[in-house]
Amino acid sequence: MVRTICMRGCLALMVMALLLPATAGGRQKWSGERITPEARLDWGKGTLYATGRGAIDRRNPNQAKAYLRARDYAKLDALQNLLMAIDHVRIDARTVGRDFEADTTIRAEIQGVVRGAEIIDERKLAMGNDTIVEVTVALPLYGERSVASVFIPEVARREQQVSGSEPETRLPPVKVRIPALRRDNLPRVPAPRANVPVTSVIIDARGLGLERGMCPKIRRPDGSEIWGTVQANPDFVIEHGIAVYATTMAQAQNDSRAGNNPLILRAIGRAGGRFNTDAVISDEDADRLLEADAESGFLGRYRVIFVVDPGK
């Protein structure tokens, strides 16, 4: 009898040891912008993280089963936190996720995507006299069965609807903010190589408070759009995102989307509505950008990189 109980106890401990990762003793710090208290969005990796917790029932004689139940509850809690985080993800200068989810079909699609989130980390933590299981799930921002796979087609549909509407029904103009900058302190922007097709554009917006979003735009000082509206076929945007964010020029130049001959431009301001996600460049640089794009068509292939301040 005693031997049977001991064997069962050892088996339970072995199962729990196998379930817990090697990092169970420490607390992983997930990088990225904090969207909610329990969720972060790493724009660089294109990944949304959320954490959930579940308490282990100490009274259950089968501690392996108690652990698994707590783990299941923690995952459900993490998925709920993930769903709440998506509500706050900036889509463009005017909208966040919840602005699209008033449509019950889109809300159901987002819920389906969230159910596919994967557990990437779990650990046991002491909380007073109790023990809890903490689970972290990850969901891709782009790609198949991602946040973008639901929102981008709707963004494209709305933009086509607005562009074809009567002037009085169109969205109000964005607000352009052009702060005073000391140009003598800014490093020289290198020109692309002559007689070689330009492969991309890198917009240096550091120091301007530009916010990240899923559908940023490039604008002129008068607020008119140069680039950014999602085209009728949004497949590439769903898979890779409309643009890339970097926090250093070296990181931007080394990104695969930059190519071997990027056009580097300095933003002079930011624009937007609720959020400042759109970069503003001078009219002179806008003309340079459109002239370079007319030769190689990199804007149509979404080869755009924004260099922003860390944490933005």
Q: How many CB atoms lie within 10 A of CB 219?
A: 25
Question: How far apart are the C-alpha atoms of 12 and 119, rounded to whole Å?
Answer: 22
Question: How far apart are the C-alpha atoms of 234 and 139, rounded to whole Å?
Answer: 20
Angle (deg, nearest 10), helices 147-163 and 104-115: 160
CA 255, 261, 263, 266 dihedral sign is positive
Residue 9: C-alpha distances to residues 59, 71, 126 (Å): 14, 19, 21
Q: How many CB atoms lie within 10 A of CB 29?
A: 6
Q: Which pTM value belongs to this model?
A: 0.83
**pLDDT per residue as tens digits for the range 184-228:** 566 677 788 888 999 999 999 999 999 999 999 999 999 999 999
Kindly state the greatest CA–CA separation across the chain.
87
pLDDT in tens, the chain (312 residues): 444 444 444 444 444 443 444 334 444 556 789 999 999 999 989 999 999 999 999 888 898 999 999 999 999 999 999 999 999 999 999 999 999 998 999 999 999 999 999 999 999 999 888 899 999 999 999 999 999 999 999 998 888 877 655 544 456 778 999 987 665 566 677 788 888 999 999 999 999 999 999 999 999 999 999 999 886 567 889 999 999 999 999 999 999 999 999 999 999 999 999 999 999 999 999 999 999 999 999 999 999 999 999 875
Q: What angle do CA 261, 228, 292 make, to 5 degrees?
A: 30
Question: How far apart are the C-alpha atoms of 241 and 206, rounded to whole Å?
Answer: 21
**pLDDT per residue as tens digits for the range 277-306:** 999 999 999 999 999 999 999 999 999 999
